[in-house]
Amino acid sequence: MDAVVVQDLVKTYGPTRALDGVSLTVPEGTVLGLLGPNGAGKTTAVRVLTTLLRPDSGSATVAGIDVLKDPAAVRRTIGLAGQYAAVDDKLTGAENLRLVGKLYHLPKQQIAARADELLARFDLVEAGGRVVKTYSGGMRRRLDLAGALVNKPRVLFLDEPTTGLDPRSRLGLWEVLEDLVADGTTLLLTTQYLEEADRLADRIVVIDRGRVIAEGTSDSLKDEVGGSVLVVRAADPPQTEQAREVLARFGEVTDLTGGELQVQGGSVDLVRKAATALAKAGVEITDLALRRPTLDDVFLQLTGHAAEDEEGAA
């Protein structure tokens, strides 16, 4: 059964089509990574699915419940951690969780126990009695996530759960999420990082400007992008032109921002051959590297524009 079914969602803000006909499904017990650059429509999609926003058209069900027809029932079933941790600075961690428990109408005697259990699970036992103002960014995110789990939701929505975190906190959060998923929770998470989707998601849906532009497993997407790429930076513009001619022998060459050249289908073998050929031709290069595909590559490949310049191109 599908835990989330989205059909043709459209939401516009004036001339901006935040969602421009998005359809997707998330099978029960799986993780969907909704991958896209800033402004792609990720938050808008999550807000529709969590009943915070009504779309202009289209439909969606969560755990079989129509989001538009019975939002109250959806709210009882889901957990949400938004893009910015929505925790109360002036309450303690424990008070934040108990308030959420009260508002979920948990039985009185369970509220404190559930809060303590979640504090323990998210490594916040010591911090639980301190006001949230004193928390680090990672701790706030963990508390926000704990709040989303108070009601043991069947479907969990996380909007960019690790954006803005340092690498260590990010890794910690990934581990927590992996545990959660192992328990069978259905998870829809949005992210700007291919690496994150790669690690956590069973399936990835790539969106850009409100439209789904690709979907599949992380392997199938990487195949589509063409696996690793070779990136070459020449010493100056004339050298770059020379390098382009040499590299064209090995595959299609694309220009990256900052004067770098990229060749699809990077492999160790290609690195060796390209380096030799460039040396033989007397091209002076300052950098030559094998790079795994990034979100930028996915976008360059799928949309023909880089993730960052979406503002100017729109």
Partner 1 sequence: MTAALSDALAVTGRNLRRIRREPEVLFFSTVQPIIFVLLFRYVFGGAIKIPGLSYVDFLMPGIFVQTTAFASTGTGVALADDLSKGIIDRFRSLPMARSAVLAGRSLSDLARILFTVLVMVVVGVAVGLRFHQGLAKAVAAIALVAFFGFAFTWISAWIGLSVKTVEAANLAGFVWLFPLTFASSAFAPVNTMPGWLQAFAKATPVTPTVDAVRALINGGPTARPLLISLCWLVAITAVFSTLAVRKYRSIS
Ligand X SMILES: Nc1ncnc2c1ncn2[C@@H]1O[C@H](COP(=O)(O)OP(=O)(O)O)[C@@H](O)[C@H]1O
Sites of contact with ligand X (CB under 6 A): 13, 16, 18, 36, 38-44
Least spacing, CB of residue 190 vs Mg ion, in Å: 7
Of 54, 69, 152, 249, the one binding partner 1 (CB under 8 A) is 54
Closest CB 36 distance from Mg ion, rounded Å: 9
Is position 85 an interface residue for partner 1 (rule: CB under 8 A)? yes
Q: Where are the beta strands (DSSP E) in 89-216?
A: 155-159, 186-191, 203-208, 211-216
Structure tokens at 87: 């925790």
In the complex, the smallest distance separating the C-beta of residue 50 from ligand X, rounded to whole angstroms, is 13
Give the integer Cα–Cα distance in Å for 180 and 146: 11
Residue 44 sits in the site that holds Mg ion (CB under 5 A): no
Separation between Cα atoms, residue 83 and residue 95, nearest integer Å: 21
Q: What percentage of the chain's residues is helix, strand, coil (to nearest 5)? A: 40, 25, 30
| 102 sits near partner 1 (criterion: CB under 8 A) | yes
Near partner 1 by CB under 8 A: residue from 56, 89, 175, 219: 89
Rg of the chain in Å (alpha carbons): 23
State the DSSP H helix or E strand holding residue 196, giving kind and residue range, or none if neither. Answer: helix 194-200
Note whether 276 and 247 are within 8 A (CB).
Answer: no
Task: Please choose which of ligand X, partner 1, Mg ion, none residue 38 contacts, taking the beta carbon within 5 to 8 angstroms, the exact cut-off set by kind.
Answer: ligand X
Q: At 252, is the secondary structure helix, strand, or coil?
A: coil
Residue 39 interacts, among ligand X, partner 1, Mg ion, none and using kind-specific CB cut-offs from 5 to 8 Å, with ligand X
In the list 26, 65, 100, 173, the residue contacting partner 1 (rule: CB under 8 A) is 100
Applying CB under 8 A, the span of 51-59, 188-196, 205-213, 287-295 interacting with partner 1 comes to: 51-59
Residue among 125, 150, 159, 124 nearest 139 (CA): 124
Q: How far is the CB of 150 from partner 1 (least distance, A)?
A: 9
Instruction: Report in angstroms the alpha-carbon separations of 182 from 157, 186, 190, 264.
Output: 16, 10, 19, 36
* C-alpha–C-alpha distance, residues 225 and 222, integer Å: 5
Among partner 1, ligand X, Mg ion, none, the one that 250 touches (CB under a kind-dependent 5 to 8 A) is none
Binding site for partner 1 (CB under 8 A): 47, 50-54, 72, 75-76, 78, 80, 82, 84-86, 88-91, 95, 99-100, 102-105, 131, 147
Residues at the contact surface with Mg ion, assessed by CB under 5 A: 42-43, 83
